[in-house]
Structure 1
Amino acid sequence: MTSDADVVVAGGGPVGLMLACELALAKVSVTVLERLTEVDTKIKAGAINSPSAEAFYRRGMLPDLAAAQRAGIERFSSFLRQRQAAGASGLQAPPKFAGHFAGIMLRGDLLDESDPDFDGPGPAGEVGLVPQEVLERLLAARAAELGVELRRGVTLTGFDAGEDGVTVHTSGGTLRTGWLVGCDGGRSTVRRLAGFPFPGTAPEITGHQALVEMTGAEKLGAGWNWTETGTYVHGPMPGRILTVEFDGPPADREAPVTAQELEESLRKVSGVEGVRIHKVRTATRFTDNARQVPDYRAGRVLLAGDAAHVHAPFGGQGLNLGIGDAMNLGWKLAATVHGWAPDGLLDTYTAERHPIGAWALDWTRAQVALMRPESHSRALREVIAELTGTVDATTFFTKKISGVWQRNDLPGDHPLIGRSAPDLEFSDGSRLAEQLHGGQGLLLDLTDDAELRKRATGYDGRLRVLTAGCPGQPGLAGLLVRPDGCTAWAADRADAAGSAVPAAPDELDAALRRWFGTPADAAA
């Protein structure tokens, strides 16, 4: 089958663009189909978690994200100034922010930052407040630099998948490709046409999020507020509101969100009659439908992001799940396209990402349960709020929200295996994340061991080998890091005297073959 592209990605939001960038970095030809003609400017997620920040850091994008965060902090400062100028009393910047659970704020000054799960992110640990629209623009620019073909204003209308490829039908013609990936959102056309099951729980809320121009806002409580009729949020930027009503899902998710609809919802849940919305700058309508496909792959068709799992948007977990999906899938699909993927590599995509997606669904379901405007939920919310006033609970919730807890269940006993690779600083001042900008795997030799380096023979193009000193980790002998930043193998020095021979060399051989296939010089 002659292909127009190795991979066609349906959906040009952050997840589809991230996946396309990963594929293009691995020299895979990719075409992205996006029905919108411009970047989506609707207000959506406003933050990224630790795994997402690390992913962008490992691809050289951290400076741009840091600049976006500085702009966001300034918007929050502007919100505080406007509230003060309007006469709101008792308003001050919160203690160091560590996230929230169902609107219950977590205080960073109660966080046990000595917990080992917080070790290792390096500069990525300082970046988090990045709006989804900004991220999409940055990824679109990166995709263009990498040569990705982004076809805007084009809708996928159907496809025919066979054993040797996929014929994709669009509003702009037909494409032949080896693989089709649906990154086309919660109402995914790819998922529906491919027949993926989508089990889960039905919605019970109608939510709105918007940036508006309004008067009477000084009467609204700042931040998260729970009332007898629902939940609302005011801030953390001027004109930003969010409402949650518990009387069922919206009648029409697709209808434009009007100023009248937002005003009525805000008045209903806040009880503030004097608030008036004069202009809607951007708005979305959402619910808490929570569903997940059992398997992210059906032959040559795969799903990522909201196409594979949907849930309430609280905490921005959906965006981060999707970025994680793209990082995990990109290099594995590229290896399959290039023909060096070991048996079963592509199947590890579902095996590794499905459990994290299932956790996110339950995490958001729990938040919806806490926000319900009824006595049992209110009592439970008070218990959780009291718990989050402790160091242990704050640390627990922050670890979950930030994503630092995430692991892949990989063979090996070393505590680093399956974890995101620590951002080691080397003797020359460079850092590990900088060695992953090219999207290849990395075998890190920290003891100048020729035998260790020899074991990577035959993996050119799949794996880089780096010999470096690492004063901050004197006991560590070596690491094998997958292209997505996951530690696939690690070993300490064999003895306290600092022998250059790492432990468990046979485990290194097994890990190399498990993730990078058969070396090129191996016998057929």
Structure 2
Amino acid sequence: MGVETDVIIVGAGPTGLMLAGELRLAGVRALVLERHPQPRPTPKASGLGGRILDVLHYRGLLGRLEAAAEGGYPPPRFPFGGVHLDLTGLADPPMRALSIAQHAVERMLGEHADALGAEIRRGHEVTGLSQDDSTVTADVRGPDGDYRVTARYLVGCDGGRSPIRAMAGIDFPGTTFSEVNRLAQVTIPESVTILPNGDLEIPGNGTVRSGFTRTEHGMFAVAAHGGILYLQSTEDDPADYDSDDPLTMAELGASIRRVLGFDLPLGEPSRLSRYVFQDRQAENYRAGRVFLAGDAAHLFPATGTALNCGLSDTVNLAWKLAAAVQGWAPASLLDTYHTERHYAGARARLQTRAQVALRRGGDPAAEALRDVLTELLTDDPAAHRLGALVGATDLRYPTPETHPLTGTFAPNLTLHTDPDIVTVAELMHTSRPVLLDFADRPELREVAERWPLRVDVFTAKTDNPPADALLIRPDAYIAWAADFAEPAETAASGFHRALSTWFGAPMTH
């Protein structure tokens, strides 16, 4: 059977749609199969934060998301396991968050993928798959009956209960926690007064503290911003809820009453969602020609991480799949997806597991731990370090290269040529690798000439250059850097090695 498309993507959530757009930028055919006939209205994530905002900026997509974001950028204060991570006092906060509903993100990414030529089929469920040395075939049940489609690769972006993961035989070990979390965004009712310190004054029931309130029945969190109350109740609940059943205001109100001991006046909702925390990670993100991304690959036991991590998976994976489809990928390139993104997922699990320990403890020792952490986080270096961990802005992929910049995200430098000025972000809109030569080093440009269609060369000046030269991958991470005044022969040899490692054999000799 012939190949009908290059990559099948199972799941048309934000992760699948982002992957489709990235593949199309790289010139690869992408077919998205989604079992639901229409986008689901159930609210999920309510924002994007950390490194993924930089990635979206580098793709030229952030402005469109900002235009659709009703909440904009709230002050950088984030919940962390029952304490506050307050970055507002930092001159350069290591993370920020854009308040935007997941359905708005999904809609924009879908429009982007569609405009680039991705094919999106809704109401098409993958019921089986098989693979051989050169292709993968999906059995599909569509509105007009069953059929098969064959591709070079298939990526499961089909959520935490991923059928693709099960079909591929990939284990998903971890823990499901007993707490049920209910989140809401509601307008502030007239009867509730927001005090100058952010606390809520409730008629007949006194004051509810802004932030976290822990009771013997659970935990309640609240914050007010822009005329909206952001609420969360957390309690042990033995009921088995279907994740597709929407949360109602009655259920939310009853949960708040159980936790706080009284009714809280609530305005009109703009978001209602319910979820149970899980801490799981696929043992491998790849099984032959089948890959996993997003919730299919990892679930985290705290909010504010899953969507950001899932979108970052796709930016790492897409250019590597494109290289394999186009025939120039080095033999080990696809395996680096698991190496790098499993490591990133483990870093995300590290901070979210720490939040579990902080939030679940109810004895005096746990209270002391939260108090000590709160005190430590008043120090700028501690707050900056934890904020970078939460936002994944400290991520450095494992790399054999010794230069401290390799494996890190490329800074958005302003580049000067005569007469043009451009930024690194603008160069990355096309998702192509680029060599930035800051020191006018002809030996590097001579090496790059052997990869003429794979790497763009840009000679420019920048204020305070971080190195003599940077080789930036399509996902905007640095593959190689030349030390200042590094001998020409040494620099050329290291550059040649890096190009071969990431972009295959030279095209000319």
Count the aligned residue pairs: 485
Whether the aligned pair in 2 keeps the contact of 1:494 and 1:503 (CA below 8 Å) is no
Aligned equivalent of 2:133: 163
| Residue 34 of structure 2 is aligned to residue 34 of structure 1 | yes
Alpha carbons 1:33, 1:156 under 8 Å: kept: yes
Inter-partner Cα distance in structure 2 for 1:130 and 1:336: 35
- 1:242 and 1:333 mapped to 2: Cα distance? 40
Q: Is the 8 A contact 1:41 1:282 kept in 2?
A: no
Matches for 1:499-510 after TM superposition, within 5 Å? 501=488, 504-510=491-497
Aligned to 1:272: 262
Distance in 2 of aligned mates of 1:36 and 1:342: 37
Q: Distance in 2 between matches of 1:504 and 1:248?
A: 61
Report the equivalent of 2:380: 391
Distance 2:185 2:129 in 1: 38
Q: 1:321 to 1:5 in 2, by over 3 A?
A: same
| Cα distance in 2 for residues equivalent to 1:469 and 1:281 | 48
Q: 1:113 to 1:241 in 2, by over 3 A?
A: closer
Q: Deviations over 1:52-99 (max 9, x none)?
A: 112111211132233345x3149x7xxxxxxxxxxxxxxxxxxx5243
User: In structure 2, what is the Cα distance between the partners aligned to 1:506 and 1:37?
Assistant: 53
> Could you tell me which of 456, 460, 475 is aligned with 1:464?
456
After TM superposition, the score normalised by the length of structure 1 is 0.86
Match of 2:504 in 1: 517
Say which of 486, 491, 494 aligns to 2:485: 494
Q: Offset of 1:248 from its aligned partner? A: 5.2
TM-score normalized by the length of structure 2: 0.88
The CA deviation at 1:456 is 1.2
Q: Give, in whole Å, the separation in 2 of the partners of 1:131 and 1:395.
A: 26
- Residues 128-160 of structure 1, C-alpha deviations (whole Å, 9 max, x = no match): 444322221221111011101111222222222
Q: Show the counterpart of 2:414.
A: 425
For residues 316-372 of structure 1, what are the alpha-carbon distances to aligned partners after superposition, in whole Å with 9 as ceiling and x for unaligned? 110111011101111001101111000110000010111221222232222122222
Query: Among 474, 483, 498, which residue is 2:474 paired with?
Result: 483
Q: How far off is 1:2 after superposition?
A: 1.0
> What is the identity, as a one-letter code, of the residue corresponding to 2:448?
A
Matched-pair identity in %: 38
1:108 alignment partner, one of 74, 79, 87: 87
Residue 434 of structure 2: aligned partner = 442
Whole-Å Cα distance in 1 between the matches of residues 250 and 346 of structure 2? 36
Greater shift, 228-237 or 47-56, is seen at 228-237
What does residue range 289-368 of structure 1 map to in structure 2 within 5 Å? 289-314=278-303, 316-368=304-356
Q: Which position in structure 2 is the counterpart of 1:146? A: 116
Alignment partner, residue 24 of structure 2 = 24
Other-structure match for 2:198: none
Note the aligned Cα RMSD (angstroms): 2.5
Asked if the contact 1:492/1:502 (under 8 Å) is kept, the reply is no
Q: Is the 8 A contact 1:180 1:300 kept in 2?
A: yes
Do 2:434 and 2:455's aligned partners in 1 also have CA atoms closer than 8 Å?
yes
Q: Which structure 1 segments of 5+ residues have no match?
A: 77-95, 119-124
Tell me the secondary structure at the aligned position of residue 177 of structure 2: coil
Report deviation, 1:241.
2.4
Question: Cα distance 1:324–1:502, how it changes in 2: closer, same or farther (>3 A)?
Answer: farther
SS of equivalent residue, structure 2 residue 468 = strand
Is the 8 Å Cα contact of residues 101 and 397 (structure 1) preserved in structure 2?
A: no
Q: For structure 1, which segment, 50-59 or 218-227, has the greater mean C-alpha deviation from structure 2 after superposition?
A: 218-227
How big is the shift at 1:233?
Answer: 2.5
Per-residue CA distance 1:263-289 (angstroms, 9 max, x = gap): 21111112223x366876543221122
Alpha-carbon distance in 2 for matches of 1:188, 1:439: 28
Q: What residue identity is the alignment partner of 1:102?
A: G
* Secondary structure in structure 2 of the residue aligned to 1:350: helix
- Is contact 2:470–2:481 with CA below 8 Å preserved after alignment? yes
Q: Distance in 2 between matches of 1:73 and 1:436?
A: 24
> Does structure 2 retain, via aligned residues, the 8 Å contact 1:203–1:248?
no
Distance 1:214 1:36, change over 3 A: farther
Matched position secondary structure for 1:3:
coil
Q: Tell me if the contact between 1:443 and 1:481 (Cα under 8 Å) persists in the aligned partners.
A: yes
Residues 212-223 of structure 1: pairs in structure 2 closer than 5 A: 212=186, 219=202, 220-223=208-211
Are the equivalent residues in 2 in contact too, given 1:372–1:378 (CA < 8 A)? no
Measure how far apart 1:477 and its partner are. 1.6
| Structure with more strand by fraction | 2
Cα pair 1:204 1:249 within 8 Å, conserved = no
Q: How does 1:3-82 map to 2 (within 5 A)?
A: 3-69=3-69, 71-73=70-72
Q: 1:4 to 1:49 in 2, by over 3 A?
A: same
User: For residues 221 and 502 of structure 1, do their structure 2 counterparts lie closer, same or farther at Cα, with a shift above 3 Å needed?
Assistant: farther
For residues 73 and 440 of structure 1, do their structure 2 counterparts lie closer, same or farther at Cα, with a shift above 3 Å needed?
A: closer
8 Å CA contact 2:20–2:113 kept in 1: the answer is yes
Change beyond 3 A, Cα 1:213–1:337: same
- Could you tell me whether the CA contact under 8 Å between 2:376 and 2:382 is conserved in 1? yes
Per-residue deviation, 1:412: 2.2
Cα pair 1:442 1:465 within 8 Å, conserved:
yes
Structure 1 residues 244 and 502: CA distance shift in structure 2, 3 A: farther
AA of the residue aligned to 1:442: V
The reply to whether residue 255 of structure 1 matches residue 245 of structure 2 is: yes
Q: 1: distance between equivalents of 2:270 and 2:463?
A: 52
The aligned counterpart of 1:287 is 276
Query: Secondary structure in 1 aligned to 2:234?
Result: strand
Q: Does 1:208 align with 2:195?
A: no
C-alpha deviations, 1:484-508, integer Å up to 9, x for none?
Answer: 011011113317xxx9x58522111
Aligned-pair CA distance for 1:471: 3.0
* TM-aligned CA distance change 1:266 to 1:420, over 3 Å: same
Q: Secondary structure at the match of 1:203?
A: strand
Offset of 1:174 from its aligned partner? 2.2
**Equivalent residue for 1:246?**
236
Partner of 2:197: none
2: CA distance, partners of 1:50 / 1:289: 21
Indicate how the Cα distance of structure 1 residues 507 and 179 shifts in structure 2: closer, same or farther if over 3 A, else same: same
Could you tell me which amino acid in structure 1 is paired with residue 260 of structure 2? S
Q: 2:64 is matched by which residue type in structure 1? A: D
Query: How far apart, in 2, do the equivalents of 1:191 and 1:225 lie?
Result: 38
**Paired position in structure 2 for 1:197:** 171
Distance, in Å, in 1 between the alignment partners of 2:471 and 2:252 is 52
> Structure 1 CA distance, aligned partners of 2:125 and 2:156?
12
* 1:90-105 pair list within 5 angstroms: 96-105=75-84
Deviation at 1:20, TM superposition (A): 0.9
Question: After superposition, what is the alpha-carbon deviation per residue over 1:458-500, rounded to whole angstroms, capped at 9, x for unaligned?
Answer: 3233211111122332x732110010011011113317xxx9x
